[in-house]
Structure formats: C-alpha cells, structure tokens
Structure 1
C-alpha cells in the first residue's frame, strides 16, 4: 500500500553517491512534477486545524440547503409519511456516516487527497479517470447549488426592493438580468473564498454553520405559525407492509447516492484533522 500511495513513484535515485547509500544515508530523490505538487502533498501532522467543530460545521453547511430539503419533501411522492421519512433519512444518514468515516480515516492517516488515494485501486495513471469524473460532477453540482442560491437572493432582493422586479422579467439564456447578476455575484463570492485555500474555507464554514442553523430554525418556526400549528404527517393514502418498507429503504439508498460525491471528497477535508476521534465526533 505504501508503494501505491507514493506521491511520486517515478522517483529517480541519484547514482552519483553510491557510497552514501551503503553507509546508511538516504539516497537523493527527485519528485516527478507530473505526480506531485503542493495540493497533492501530504499534510503535516502539526498544524492540522480541522477539529470537531470544523467537521460539524462542514456537515451543517452541506446538509441544510434547498436541494436536500426538496429531496426530503420528494419522499412524500413515494407515499411515505412523516415518521417514515425520518426513518428513511436516518437509515441513509447511518450509511453515509459509515462510509464517510472510512474515507475520512484514509485521509487522516495518509494526509493526501482523493486523487492520490485513488492510486491504490487505479494506479498512478488510471487514477486520473475517477479524479476527472469527480471533477465533472463537482462542476455540475456547484452550478446547481449556485443557481439555487441565486434564486433565493433574487427573491430576497425583489422583496426588499420591489423596484428591482423591473429587471426580473426579461430572459437572457434562461435567466433574467437580475438573475444573472445574482448568479455571478454568488459565484464570485465562492471563488474569492476558494482563492485563499482550505484554511479560509474552514473559517467561512465555522461562521456560516451557526448562521444556517439559526436561519433554518427560524424558518421552521415561521412556517409552523403560518400553518396554524397544523402539520400533515402523512399522505392521503399512506403505504403499509412490504411496499412501505421497500420505499423507506429506497429513500435511504437515495440519500446515500446524493452524498456519494462527498464520501469521496471527505478525505480532502479529513486529511487536515488531527485524529480519528475528531472525525467520528465531528
């Protein structure tokens, strides 16, 4: 495994000082520039700052979003009621937690990101294929989340400043002028955060995590009041028996599928955690 995880397996051993090798001194090594760079290098044990709260904040930022809420509401379409949906999400969460820990342990132990860890299974050149596939999926998901966030911002702006609605009626490649402004603005904010590296991502998520939780809790209370404290916990014709359990486990499997990409990505974050317990608790 150590050979497979080597960041630069095409190392050239300097032959100019054979006596130094015989004397017990390590040979001089030259790292392959194609297989090693600053982003792929292992993180040092000292200075790893992704603690329990950082991992928790990462989850908070990732779970609480419009796409996941839409998925949860979509489980009603499977004929599931309130407690059945919660059980389905619980099953999915348990599966995600198990696989995320496995991915996180690899990242924490080796200190390397997914493109390097995948060399264990795919080799140094074959690993480029899953890395590229993950990149394409990440680009698509990034665009979806940015679009959904821009919709929320657009609605907020038109609610606070109704005069901006005049710029929300045209259409340029599927978005209004105001929609494009909101989309590009949110895209630039995210780009600015990423430009400062993972430490800035950690700091931003540490700030955004509590804000998101308070916002979600406020929205829940608001909707509960607007619904006159009456919430439908089941559909008109709830499922029973085998069909119910089949759809409960199907919902859990879908939840795992949604987080399949984060299972792969998690080692990129956990590589900056000091120990396994930090990952489990966080």
Structure 2
C-alpha cells in the first residue's frame, strides 16, 4: 500500500497516507507533513530569511564583544566566519530531511527520540529559543528607552528601562501570537531594508573615525599564542552555538523548500556572508568607538544614545525591525511548535508563543547581558554543550543509521515503528547523556580544552555513540520496505 509519493526528491503523503493519520493524537495542521503545493520557498526566500535573522543585535554584540575581550578586527571576524562555516554543515544536513519529507522539527525528533521522547530535544531547543527571545527583547527595549530619554523627560520615570523592556516584550509576543505564516513575506522586504541600514552604520563609523586606518588599527591585546587560544576556543564555540539552535529546527523552514537546490544555495550564500558582513560592521563600529570615545562600546543602545534625537529615532526603528524579524523567525517557531507538540489536539501555535514569552522573562536576559563574559562563556558556551550532542544524534539518525529512508505515516502513530519502548528511544537518551557528560566531566577535571569545544566534541561523541547503539534497531526500514510504501513520479503517472 502506497502511503507516500516521491517526486523530484520531495516526499509527500498520498491520500491513503493522510487518511491513516488524520485522526491520530500526534497529528494536527501545524505538525503534519507539507503538501506538494506548500513546497514553494525559493533560494531567495531562504537567503532573505537568513539576512533578516543574522542582521540582529546579538550578532553585532558577539562581534564587537570579541574586540572588548582583546582580539583585533581580523581575529574577531575570522573566528565568527569560521564558526558559521562549521555550523553550516549540520544546518544543511538537517535541512535535507526537512526538505525531503516536509516535517517540522518536533516530528523530526520523533524519529530519533520516539513519540514521547521527542519532547526532550524539542523542549531543549525551546528553552534556548526562549532565552534568545528575551535577549532580543532586552536589546530592543533598551533602544526604545534610549529614544524616549533622548526625546522626552523619560529618564525621570521610575523604572523607565524596565517599562520600555516590558512594552517591547509585549509587542513581540503580540506579533508572534499572530502566527508564522507571514514570515516569508516579512523577511522578503525586511532583508534589503536591514542591509541598507547596516551600510549606513558602517559609513558613519568610517567617516567619524577618519577612515579605515584609525578604525581598524587597534592591535590585539594578546602577547602570545597561548593567551589568544584561551579566548579563541570558547569564542569559536560561542560563534558555532550562536546558530546551533537553527541547525536543529531548520526543518521548520526547509519543509517549505521548493527543492534541495533552493535551500542549499539560499542558505550557503547567505548565512556565512551575512554573519561575516554584519560582524565586520560590529567590529568596525566598536573599533571606531575606541578612537572616538576611548573604549570599545559593544552595546548598540549605548552608542545610539550619543546621536541626535532624529538619528536615534531612525536607529530605533532599525533595531525594532531587526529584533522582530529575528525573534519571530528564529526564537518563536521552534518553542511554539515544541509546546504545540506536547498536546497536538489541544495546544495551538499562539498558545506556544505566549508561553515562550513568559519563559523568556524567567530566564532574566538582563543578567545574561550584564557583561560579555556571561554572554559568551555562560550563555553561548553552556547551551552549545547541550545542543551539540542533539545535533550529532539527528545527523547520525538520518544519514548514517536510516540512510534517508523514513516512513512518514509511522511518525504519527502513538504505538508505531518510531515509538520504540514506551515512546522513548533509549539509545538516543544514552547517546545524549554521554555527549553531555564527557565535556562536563572534562571541565571538572581541569581539561578545559574539551569544555571550550563542547559543541563540536559533544556532537561527534553522540554521533558515533548513537550510530553504534542503533546499528540493528527494529525501527530501521530497508530499501525494499521503502519502495513498498513509496510511489514514484513515474508510478503515479502510470496509475493516472
């Protein structure tokens, strides 16, 4: 019985397949596989998605913060570009599954963790996204506060920064509640707008600092290779961890890709280039502040406060646009889908968006951004150690264990092939624990190099552990089984 159809490398459900799962408690409109008509995102859509997400205040702060830690401009940019080239690999590997089978991240996670166990990686991703949601809202709220202080007597209002933050947070929650369907259109026009504003910021830094020479002449503060490497490796892990979140839930977007070629070209040409470009702007502006003000200022709102009210107004609009495009795309879709997956028949995407916003407050973004050490070492480094092993399990399952063969219908059956024992795949749980425990143990033992590279090392450990543990699992399907349930384009034409 043919329950799925493969055309041009894209697998969709046949009507028979839909009929078999439409009443399942694991099925709803947000979690179902996409249809052939819904595979309509082009390379430009993916490029604009990444431009809209990468041009954001955390990107600026990551780059500028490396200057404050002692790097010169090319060391900072090189670290960030290298990190993004590394994380692009798992992004593309996991994007392939989302594109081919049209499934969102929580459903993809059922494949490796089980119908119930999928809540472990999906909620882990959701918690990190909630943290980022709060960080972006804090940046945006600070910019709004700066605008109001510059143009009114706002500074005399008790708790004015907190009020601006809560107001901006509420705006983001409201926009997110309206749903993800407008992301493609929003990113389409936001991407070029943000690029123009970024170039304007670079032009200001260039003219104010007196040219490239004074702006980029600040030397590295490291006197030896050893001193540099002590900062380089945790900074590299931070640069990788920055988008390791999307490396997991990229299927949430690539499930709409027109083809594998569209998502590969769109993402490859936009992620490392945009991150490198905007990071350079962050580094250049921070270097310019050293020339102008005697210190590297990595907080955009603090720089904004030094301009005229009109420029602050324009800059604040840019910050709001950058924050909203990043928050809606990168920090709401994943947790909202994860929460929706907890109870597909009762919970909606909108409810998930509200819960995400509340969780963001509990994670205290003001503390994470209190100093750059918290941002790079505590926040990015810690969640990198968590998400790296999950990335390793996802890649191993699809590419090394299953050889890209999935039975879509079984992903929506509570007691199906991918439910394992009691809904949890113990092999995935063990692989995750091993991948997390080894870097933590090494850190406790003083082997800081392992912890400083926790994302990469954890990914590799879990990848090999999961592959070995799953080598003869009953959930695997061979080529003959796949052919029995999958109709090809030629077979469909003959039948019609």
TM range (shorter): 0.7 to 0.9
- CA 1:185–1:56 in 2, change beyond 3 Å: closer, same or farther? farther
Q: Which residue of 1 aligns with 2:182?
A: 200
* 1:19-38 equivalences in 2 (<5 Å): 29=20, 31=22, 33-38=24-29
Q: Does the alignment pair 1:165 with 2:158?
A: no
Quote the offset at 1:29 in angstroms.
Answer: 3.0
1:16 alignment counterpart: none
Residues 189 and 209 of structure 1: is their aligned pair in 2 closer, same or farther, counting only changes over 3 Å?
A: farther
Match of 2:42 in 1: 51
Contact 1:194–1:200 (8 Å) recurs in 2: no
Change over 3 Å in CA distance of 1:90–1:236 after alignment to 2: closer
Q: Deviations over 1:133-164 (max 9, x none)?
A: 222221221111112111112212333x2233
For 2:198, the equivalent position in structure 1 comes to 216
Query: d(CA) in 1 for partners of 2:18 and 2:52?
Result: 46
Q: Distance in 1 between matches of 2:44 and 2:18?
A: 42
Deviations 1:244-280 (A, max 9, x none): 4675454332211121111112110111111111112
When structure 1 is superposed on structure 2, of 222-231 and 143-152 the one drifting more is 222-231
**Residue in structure 2 matched with residue 111 of structure 1 by the alignment:** 102
Q: Is the 8 A contact 1:79 1:238 kept in 2?
A: yes
TM-score for both structures, normalised by structure 1 = 0.78
State the Cα distance separating 1:32 from its structure 2 match.
5.1
Query: Which stretches in structure 2 are left out of the alignment for 5+ residues?
Result: 4-15, 267-496
Matched, 1:278 2:278: no
SS at match of 1:126: coil
More displaced 10-residue stretch of structure 1: 69-78 or 97-106 = 69-78
Asked whether the equivalents of residues 79 and 239 of structure 1 are also in contact (C-alpha less than 8 Å), the reply is no
Q: Distance in 2 between matches of 1:198 and 1:32?
A: 24
Change (3 A) 1:236 1:95: closer
Which of the residues 78, 85, 92 maps onto 1:87?
Answer: 78
State the distance in 2 between where 1:103 and 1:27 align: 24
**Measured at CA, do residues 54 and 193 of structure 1 come closer, stay the same or move farther in structure 2, by a change above 3 Å?**
farther
User: Do 1:51 and 1:274's aligned partners in 2 also have CA atoms closer than 8 Å?
Assistant: yes
- Could you tell me which of 226, 235, 248 is aligned with 1:251? 235
Deviation at 1:184, TM superposition (A): 4.2
Please tell me whether the aligned partners of residues 71 and 220 of structure 2 are also in contact (alpha carbons under 8 angstroms): no
String of CA shifts for 1:206-245, please: whole Å, max 9, x gaps.
Answer: 1211121111111111122222222134435345546546
Contact 2:72 2:220 in 1 (8 A): no
Residues 193 and 201, structure 1, Cα contact 8 Å, conserved in 2: no
Task: State the distance in 1 between where 2:17 and 2:47 align.
Answer: 42
Distance 1:237 1:52, change over 3 A: same
* TM-score normalised to structure 2 length: 0.46
Q: Residues 45 and 243 (structure 1 numbering): CA distance in 2 closer, same or farther, change over 3 Å?
A: farther
Note the C-alpha offset of 1:31. Answer: 4.1
SS at match of 2:88: helix
The RMSD of aligned alpha carbons is 2.6
**In proportion to residue count, which structure has more helix?**
2
Residues 1:162 and 1:128: Cα distance change in structure 2 (over 3 Å): same
Cα distance change, pair 45–238 in 1 and its aligned pair in 2 (3 A): same
Give the deviation of 1:196 after TM superposition: 4.0
1:125 Cα deviation (Å)?
Answer: 1.0
